[in-house]
C-alpha cells in the first residue's frame, strides 16, 4: 500500500479510536479498546490494510492484542479526546522533556504554562527531535520548550509513559519551563 493511503487510513483510525467513535458506530470499552472486527466493519477496510497501518505506523499509534475474552482488539496508544482510562502506571520521567509548538503560542505558554487542550494530557517528548516534528504541525516557526521534569516529579506531579513512548502529564506550570 502506498504511503499516502497508509496516512489517510491512519487518520481515519485515529479519529474513530480517539475522538469520534460514536460517529463511526463504535463502542470503546473504558480502557479504549474495541474489537478489530468492529473497526474493520465501521471503516469498511480489510484486515490486511489495518495490519499495514498498525505495523507501518512511525509513531506506533495503535496497539492490537487479544483480550481476556479471546477477541482481538485495538486501541489508540494515546491522544484521546473521548474519556478513556488507559490504565498507565505512574512513571519516573527523564530529567528533561521537550514540547514542540508554534512560535505564536509562546507568549501564552510562558504566561500560563502548558495546557492539555482537547486531549487528556499535555504531551511531551523524550528527545528534542521528536518535539520538533510535533511543533512542525503548527503554523509559523517551530519552538522547542524544555521542561524541568525532574523538579516537577520531585514536586509531586505525576507522569505516565504511553506504549509508544510519549510522556503524559496533566499540565506543566510555567515555572518548570527552562530557557
Which stretches of the chain bind ligand HQG, using CB under 6 A? 59, 61, 79, 101, 105, 108-109, 112, 114-115, 117-119, 123, 134, 138, 166
Q: What are phi and psi of 102, to 5 degrees?
A: -90, 150
Q: How far is the C-alpha of 28 from the C-alpha of 103, rounded, in Å?
A: 36
Name the strand (E) or helix (H) holding 35: strand 34-35
Nearest distance in Å: CB 68, ligand HQG: 27
Name the strand (E) or helix (H) holding 91: none
Nearest distance in Å: CB 131, ligand HQG: 9
Nearest distance in Å: CB 159, ligand HQG: 15
Residue 43 vs 168, nearer CB to ligand HQG:
168
Residue 43 vs 79, nearer CB to ligand HQG:
79
Residue 67 vs 160, nearer CB to ligand HQG:
160
Q: How far is the C-alpha of 164 from the C-alpha of 75, rounded, in Å?
A: 12
**Residue where the block lists cell 469498511:** 44
The CA-atom distances, in angstroms, between 153 and each of 111, 157, 175 are: 21, 5, 13
Q: How far is the C-alpha of 115 from the C-alpha of 109, rounded, in Å?
A: 8
Residue 68 vs 111, nearer CB to ligand HQG:
111
Nearest distance in Å: CB 18, ligand HQG: 8
Residue 67 vs 117, nearer CB to ligand HQG:
117
Question: From the centroid of its chain, how far is CA 179?
Answer: 25
Nearest distance in Å: CB 66, ligand HQG: 24
Amino acid at each position: 500500500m502506498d504511503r499516502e493511503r497508509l496516512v489517510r487510513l491512519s487518520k481515519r483510525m485515529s479519529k474513530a479510536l480517539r475522538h469520534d467513535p460514536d460517529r463511526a458506530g463504535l463502542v470503546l470499552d473504558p480502557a479504549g479498546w474495541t474489537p478489530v472486527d468492529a473497526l474493520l466493519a465501521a471503516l469498511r477496510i480489510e484486515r490486511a490494510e489495518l495490519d499495514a497501518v498498525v505495523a507501518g505506523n512511525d509513531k506506533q499509534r495503535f496497539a492490537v492484542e487479544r483480550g481476556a475474552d479471546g477477541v482481538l482488539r485495538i486501541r489508540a496508544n494515546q491522544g484521546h479526546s473521548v474519556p478513556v482510562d488507559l490504565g498507565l502506571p505512574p512513571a519516573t520521567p527523564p530529567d528533561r522533556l521537550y514540547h514542540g509548538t508554534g512560535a505564536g503560542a509562546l507568549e501564552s505558554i510562558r504566561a500560563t504554562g502548558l495546557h492539555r487542550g482537547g486531549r487528556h494530557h499535555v504531551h511531551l517528548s523524550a528527545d528534542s527531535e521528536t518535539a520538533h516534528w510535533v511543533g512542525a504541525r503548527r503554523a509559523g516557526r517551530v519552538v522547542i520548550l524544555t521542561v524541568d521534569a525532574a523538579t516537577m516529579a520531585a514536586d509531586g506531579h505525576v507522569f505516565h509513559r504511553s506504549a509508544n513512548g510519549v510522556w503524559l502529564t496533566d499540565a506543566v506550570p510555567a515555572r518548570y519551563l527552562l530557557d
